[in-house]
Structure 1
Amino acid sequence: MSQDQLGDLSGFSMLELFRMEADSQTHILTDGLLALERRAGDAGAIEAMMRAAHSIKGAAAIVGLQVVVQLAHGMEDAFVAAQHGRLKLTPERVDVLLSGVDLIVQVSRLDDASAEGWLAANGGQIKQTLSAIEGIAELPELPALPPLPSSPATAATGPAAAPASGTGSSLPPDILAALAGEMQAELAGEAANVAPETSEAAPATPRASAAAPAKAAQNFDRLLSLASESRINAHQMHPFIGALQRFKRNQSNLFAAVEQLHEAISRSGDPGLMEKSLLALQKTQPLKQFVLEHMADMEAYERRLLAVSQGMVDEVLALRMRPFRDGIHAFPRMVRDLARSLGKEAQLVIEGEETLVDRDILAKIESPLNHMLRNALDHGMEGPYERLDAGKPAMGTIRMEARHRAGMLSIEISDDGRGVDLEKIRQSVVQRKMASPAMAAALSGGELLEFLFLPAFSLKEKANELSGRGVGLDIVHETIRQQNGTVRLESEPGRGFRALITLPLTQSIVRALVITIQGEAYAIPIVKVESVLRVPQAAIHTLENKQFFELKGEHLGLVSAAQVLELGSTEASGDDLPVVVIGRGKQSYALVVDAIRGEQSLAVQAIDPIFGKMRDISAAALLDDGEPVLILDVPDLLLSIDKLLHEGSLQQLAQSQLAERRRVKRILVVDDSLTVREMERKLLLGRGFEVDVAIDGIDGWNVVRSGEYDLVITDVDMPRMDGIELVTLIKKDLHLHKLPVMIVSYKDRQEDRARGLSAGADYYLTKGSFHDETLLDAVADLIGDARL
């Protein structure tokens, strides 16, 4: 390979070149040691590690790093011995070699100014590591696992119950605390720099100025913006060509008219007119040919322009993509070391390492994935004796698989551990008073697992360095959600646990549903859209001043998108309402919009930081026709809808239309006497009214809030709630206070009449004094005829 192909390295110092080589070769050493630990006698892995150690030794000698020369030489000797069968690389010996790899990494990251001081300060640790590598053949090998205990009770007190420090691991005692500190720092979004082999932090790797990555990001954003504008310009050719097509049709009609005129003149026999019409006809021919030829050219140009502009966008996006392995290369080592520190045996198997992911998404999900693995080790993975007792291999396996599926990035993390105790979650939910015992008992397994995403929800009875401190799956869930992704948990007790994460392939281009609200275009990421449909107004019901319709057997609340975004009120028109369903489970709502435009791929443009975080808005973009569009933040929308619900200020969307369609007035009769109810109902039906009945005040209050009535007729003396209380509730209700109410009572006492009218009744009639016409006349006085 030529120097040009490798790139110009002349600007780098020898120490920088050594640092690059050490970084690459130590990855080979780490991967090889982990592979060899799983597959003893892997000749290919040993050969690769021998070459890596030899390369590091030679490079270190050139830059004068004798410590690294000695470390690499000792490791090379160990690999040669292993290759010839003189040395078995047990987990304890792999620990020693990995500590040597860590030390090489630390030394390679030193700069000239700090190297001497750091080497002097850590001389003891360096000497100890060198001695351990030189005497690696003398390191005692732990015996094989003894026979299984005779009962689970004895197993609990056997070797498997020994503290982690008794596993023979050569890791420093404070490694577990360091790992836990790193986890919490990562999950909190802080920059944790934990030194694996010494309590004194090594100097940070010399890096380019922080302005360089920022400038590169700005350049990418600008490049993507230009590419997307090019695509928009290409799309704008389409309406122009459409206009030319219409011009061609009009021109064809004009040419046809000229031909008809020429034929008419020919029949007239006037030589002068015939000559002029023939001349006009001849001049139309080149015009017709010109339009035909150039229309074909324009259409071909449009196709080329669209292809080139889309190719530019694709190439710019490709610059952002990185293999999945770039974000998770340290995970196998982390799993192996942490498992040993916990007295367990576990390996991480990764599939789909070459799957391409947006570099920003890859960087942001590294901590959540890290935590999921730690969670699997600490909570789910059993000790070796417990696994053998359950008929499993002593070594547990965690699998991480990444793939593209349906245009999304799908990451699956699964383990073959004990799974999650669903009954323990159920008990914790009741103890924390998150649900009543009856409600908790009715929860499904999937619903119970959702509780693990709540802040500070832990099944650990006692906190340790890794668990029970309130830093848990809630932060994992929030981080995934911020990337427009979803995470779903599954568990099979005794068999294992699985987490399914779905993310966009990139945040730079988003597939979105474009809608119209109050005449303006808005977009919702398609991954946040549950369904799109049109709801007939006849299917809309009202309950407790909230409107809903039934979808797949569930009641789904209707919310005006214009009201949520504070764009004014919406007057629903037409027989059907265009609706977009967002949210999941019980937090699902149907957003009523003006129109559904369709799906588009949008190049996301960040909103200028000067505006801060805009409520309900996440970003902006340009549609294919160049129209600006705001991309809605669905989690924010759900919070805004909840706020409106709690305030009780949701707009009634279909009320006026339902009233217009209804031509017959409705009356609610509330009485505990079956005879009286039926008599009043028949009288009113005979006059043409629609009549519903309720058996007491409570029933009447529930019914009157769920429908639209023109009048309520109620008795006074009723069980559970009397008529006076019912009148009082109706007249105090924000939406019902104008509803006319008539009291019909056997009692003709002045105090009862006064109480009823004082409560707000519009009419008081005694049953002992009324006959058919009296009741009907009173109804007519209040609401008029049955027909609107």
Structure 2
Amino acid sequence: MDHNADEFRKKLLTTFRSEAEDHIMELGSWLLKFEAPAFSDSPAAILEVVFRAAHSLKGAARAVDEKETEAVCQALESVLAGLKKDNIVPEAGLLDRLLGAVRTLEELAAAAGVESKAPALCRKAAETAAGLEAALNGADAPAAQPRTGALKSACEEPRPVPAEQQNVRVPLAALESLLRQTEEMLACKLAAAQRCEDMRGLTGDVRLWLKKCPATAADGAPAREFIETLRVFLAGLEKAQRGLLHVLEQDRRALASRIDHLHEDMKQTMMLPFATLLEGFPLFLREALHSQGKDAELVLEGTELAVDRRILQEMKDPLLHLVRNAVDHGIEKHEERLRKNKPPRGKIVISVSKKGGNKAEITVSDDGAGIDADKVAAAAVKLGLPGAEAPAKADMPRAESLIFRSGISTSPIITSISGRGLGLAIVREKAERLGGTAEVETTQGKTIFRVVLPLTVSTLRGILVESGGEIFAVPVAQVERVGRAARGDVRTVEGRTVISSCGRTIPALNLREALGLADPAGSGPGAGGGQFLVAASGGESTAFMVDRVMMEQELLVKGLGTPFAKARGAAGAAVLGSGKVVPMLNMRDLMETRRGSSAPAPRGAGGQRARERKKTILVAEDSITARTLLKNIFEAAGYEVKTAVDGAAAFELLRTAPCDMVISDIDMPKMTGFELTARIRADKDLADLPVVLVTALDSDRDREKGIDADANAYIVKSRFEQSDILEIIERLI
């Protein structure tokens, strides 16, 4: 009985989460209409919609005993009821508070069903409800201004929901079509049963004649008569088999057609309008703009185009990053836009359009400052990327290529949400893993990111190749072309193997060597040439030499399972029509074999060397608790740590005991963290010393002071993550 009750509650919570998501999206999108430039109508219609959404969510929360959600909805409903009664538009401070409540409801919905919610979330829910009640009673409570912390929660990976608890909404017409095709499959089932019966009949006839043969011979029947009878039987058997083969071929074609149609309709059930992905973007953009004191409108175009739900899920975070990138690096502040003779309000446009047969092009553009090629080049030189040029020689095409490389960032300071140079690299990686591309175009005053993706996750087609005596499958989407190298086309230039093909010189690898396989006698092409395939990723190409390119065919791909999920170069296992299982390769992963041999050591490796050399970190912090915590974290990571109780003591210590990095609080006696950073930058012996500010101060003004003082990173204590600060240290020393 208890087991049944638990199962029922799980199903109920699944339904609640889906319903809550709809109500919360409705609350946020309709409340934002009050800020629309064109809004001038009576607020009654908007207030009615949001009031009903809050009321419905409250009832749903009560049904599943989500008390925190119910309390926030009750307070929200009371405020909205007051606005409805007077038919007034909420003033800016109250609107901030209402939208803050929507954010709190999002977090509560994500945690629905958890027996003991995080204390911080419970406190936030109580504070939200209390703030709304204070606003209702006219108390002079401070408005809940959006903070960067809200931005972080919006951009973090959502808590994974088990697959069995996820819901997909399917149009009724699609379900009816699937039902009809399922009924048609019954005919195939009956036909297959009949064919089996026919084959059993033929088998029985053959078995009967095999029994008759010895008996006929024993009775002394003339051999000629027996042979003639046998010939007639075999002729009839051959005719029956031809007829059966013809019918089986017809059945095969019918079955293939029905399966293809069924598969296509099943894919349609996974299609959702692109607009469903963007439902939370207006609220996210509002918070991002407010956190930086900027203003811009969001324009959505072509969002009715339907895209596979799985692609939408994969691309949500990359698109959020592109929007945040437009706010961080594109849109200027009000005064700067006026100085450049631009409209005071910026514009960010997300446009979706169909491209070709099964492709969608997503563009994210802004009318901001554009990409600074010199800053990109300087970041690449600092990172030590091969082929990076000094800023004086930088050009825009090269900058557009470099900006997607991991570690490249033009942000003047590292914070908890930006400046690490990972976002755009992830955008391109996600797009390419889905069989698409990501590119950027920029001019002075405009930047356009173009992401081209398939509309659906279609059946995978692969190219079968043989290398080192083994067969491998390569996804067609990752292959630029295949070819055969003539004698002399493969040569060595500056110690690296290259291949000449179609007027280009392409870096080359032997696939067997890239996979670390043994070299069977006589395998592997050498300078004499051989077959190859060219893989492309991130604007770069690599030729992989193979023993033989076999064929292209449709493949059924299965996952490798937990023990092998992170195996280098492996994307899965491909099941061939014969039933043979072969490895499915990830060519982009294998291309890192070539890049890694020329690229600088990764940051993590640098961090390891730093630990071996016992790098020294100076911690300036007036709180003994915080100072002890940081000291323990850094010592556990292998660093030597010195401490100071304020900025003045830290600076004196630096003059007598050189360190490799300073981690400093801001609000300290005698000398603040800002002043300490400025003193370090003004000292010719210490000017290049990395400085990281770790503080409770979270305002835009404080972050700007950190940038002005030339700090390398700015970490807010309320969002402090041990792994984050260790990663920043590894990047800086």
Q: Against the structure 1 CA distance between its residues 478 and 179, is the aligned structure 2 distance closer, same or farther, given a 3 Å change threshold?
A: farther
Could you say if the C-alpha distance between residues 386 and 355 of structure 1 is closer, same or farther in structure 2, counting changes exceeding 3 Å? same
The one-letter code matched in structure 2 to 1:559 is L
Aligned counterpart, 1:499: 449
1:381 shift after superposition:
0.6
Q: Does 1:32 align with 2:30?
A: yes
SS of 1:367's partner is helix
Equivalent position SS for 1:614: coil
**Structure 2: distance between partners of 1:299 and 1:574:** 47
Q: Which amino acid is 1:35 matched to?
A: K
CA drift at 1:460: 2.5
Deviations 1:149-194 (A, max 9, x none): xxxxxxxxxxxxxxxxxxxx9443xx434135437x82xx685xxx
- The reply on whether 1:373 has 2:323 as its aligned counterpart is yes
Q: Once structures 1 and 2 are overlaid, which stretch shifts more, 496-505 or 477-486? A: 477-486
- Normalising by structure 1, we get a TM-score of 0.56
TM-score, normalised by the number of residues in structure 2: 0.60
Question: Offset at 1:439?
Answer: 6.3
Q: Quote how far apart the aligned CAs of 1:581 are.
A: 0.9
What corresponds to 1:561 in structure 2?
511
The answer as to 2:91 corresponding to 1:99 is: no
Does 2:640 match 1:635? Answer: no
Q: Is the 8 A contact 2:560 2:572 kept in 1?
A: yes
Percent sequence identity over aligned pairs? 24
Match of 1:594 among 547, 556, 567: 547
Asked whether 1:74 is paired with 2:87, we answer no
Counterpart in the other structure of 2:300: 350
Please state whether the residue corresponding to 1:453 is helix, strand or coil: coil
Structure 2 counterpart of 1:394 = 344
Q: Is the 8 A contact 1:32 1:46 kept in 2?
A: no
The residue aligned with 1:536 is: 486
Q: Distance in 1 between matches of 2:514 and 2:285?
A: 46
The change in CA–CA distance for 1:123 and 1:312 in structure 2 (over 3 A counts) is closer
- Report the counterpart of residue 615 of structure 1 in structure 2: 568
Within 5 Å, give how 1:42-191 maps onto structure 2: 47=45, 49-54=47-52, 56-57=54-55, 60=58, 63=62, 68-79=73-84, 87-88=88-89, 92=93, 94-102=95-103, 125-132=128-135, 170-172=143-145, 175-179=146-150, 181-182=152-153, 186=156
Three-state SS of the structure 2 residue aligned to 1:394 is: coil
The within-5 A match list for 1:404-415 is 405-406=355-356, 407-408=358-359, 410-415=361-366
- Tell me, in whole angstroms, the C-alpha distance in 2 between the residues paired with 1:643 and 1:436: 14
Alpha-carbon shift at residue 333 of structure 1 (Å):
0.5
Q: What pairs up with 1:240-251 in 2 under 5 angstroms?
A: none
Aligned 8 A contact 1:75 1:97 in 2: no
Q: CA RMSD in A?
A: 5.1
Render the CA deviation track for 1:610-637: whole Å, top value 9, x for unaligned.
Answer: 3463332221111234332211121332
Choose the corresponding residue for 2:439, options 461, 484, 488: 488
Amino acid paired to 2:33: A
Distance 1:280 1:581 in 2: 59
- After the TM superposition, which residues 467-478 of structure 1 pair with which residues of structure 2 at under 5 Å, given as runs? 467-468=418-419, 472-478=423-429
The residue number in structure 1 matching 2:367 is 416
More off after superposition, 568-577 vs 622-631:
568-577
Structure 2 counterpart SS, 1:537: coil
Shift of 1:15: 9.5
Aligned equivalent of 2:404, options 434, 437, 453: 453
Q: Answer yes or no: is the 8 Å Cα contact 1:177–1:465 preserved in 2.
A: no
Shift of 1:96: 3.9
Confirm or deny: 8 A CA contact 2:302 2:351 kept in the other structure: yes
Contact 1:28 1:49 in 2 (8 A): no
For 1:577, the aligned partner's letter is: G
Aligned equivalents of 1:128 and 1:499: distance in 2? 40
What SS does the corresponding residue of 2:555 show, helix, strand or coil? strand
CA deviation vs aligned residue, 1:260-288 (integer Å, no higher than 9, x gap): xxxxxxxxxxxxxx999999999898668
Q: Displacement, 1:497?
A: 1.4
Listed as ranges, the gaps of 5+ residues in structure 1 are: 1-8, 140-168, 192-206, 217-226, 245-273, 647-788
Give the conservation status (yes or no) of the 8 Å contact 2:351–2:362: yes
When structure 1 is superposed on structure 2, of 40-49 and 618-627 the one drifting more is 40-49
- Alpha-carbon separation, structure 2, partners of 1:292 and 1:464: 74
Residue 384 of structure 2 corresponds to residue 383 of structure 1: no
CA contact (8 A) 2:369 2:444 kept: yes
Q: Are the counterparts in 2 of residues 96 and 133 from structure 1 also a CA contact under 8 Å?
A: no
Distance between the aligned counterparts of 1:586 and 1:627, measured in 2?
34
> Which structure has the larger Rg over C-alpha atoms?
1
**Secondary structure of 2:147's partner?**
helix
Indicate how the Cα distance of structure 1 residues 394 and 170 shifts in structure 2: closer, same or farther if over 3 A, else same. Answer: farther
Is the alpha carbon distance of 1:386 and 1:90 closer, same or farther for their aligned partners in structure 2, counting shifts above 3 Å?
farther
Cα distance, 1:486 vs structure 2: 3.7
Counterpart residue number, 2:250: 300
1:554–1:337 distance in 2 versus 1, CA, 3 Å: same
For these two proteins, the number of residue pairs brought into alignment is: 533
SS at match of 1:128: helix
Contact 1:403 1:410 in 2 (8 A): yes
Question: How many Å separate the matches in 2 of 1:585 and 1:21?
Answer: 40
The answer to whether the 8 Å contact 2:490/2:499 transfers is yes
Q: Is the contact between residue 488 and residue 527 of structure 2 (CA under 8 Å) also seen in structure 1?
A: no
CA contact (8 A) 1:176 1:465 kept: no
The 3-state SS of whatever aligns with 2:558 is coil
